[in-house]
Amino acid sequence: MWAVPFLMVPVGPAGPLVMLPVTTLLLGAAPDHRTGVASGVFNISRQVGGVLILAVFEAPLAQQPGS
């Protein structure tokens, strides 16, 4: 379980570096009249993904005895 924080360290700096190109790609591929919808769906999926990842990594930590 102690390896998880060390494996997640690269995610911190890599996340913001990847977000801009992915957003640009997504919004560039959407038709002009659907850009707002594409942006909304992208942000919702990003938020839901973040919550699910947090739940997946947090659940085993909460089940450890003595915590």
Instruction: Convert the pLDDT of each residue in 46-59 to its tens digit.
Output: 899 889 988 887 88
* Mean pLDDT, range 32-41, rounded to an integer: 94
pLDDT value, residue 59: 80
CA 25 to chain centre: 16
Q: How far apart are CA 40 and CA 46, in angstroms?
A: 10
pLDDT value, residue 1: 66
**26 and 38 Cβ atoms separated by less than 8 Å:** yes
Per residue in 12-34, pLDDT tens?
888 888 888 989 998 999 999 99
pLDDT value, residue 67: 55
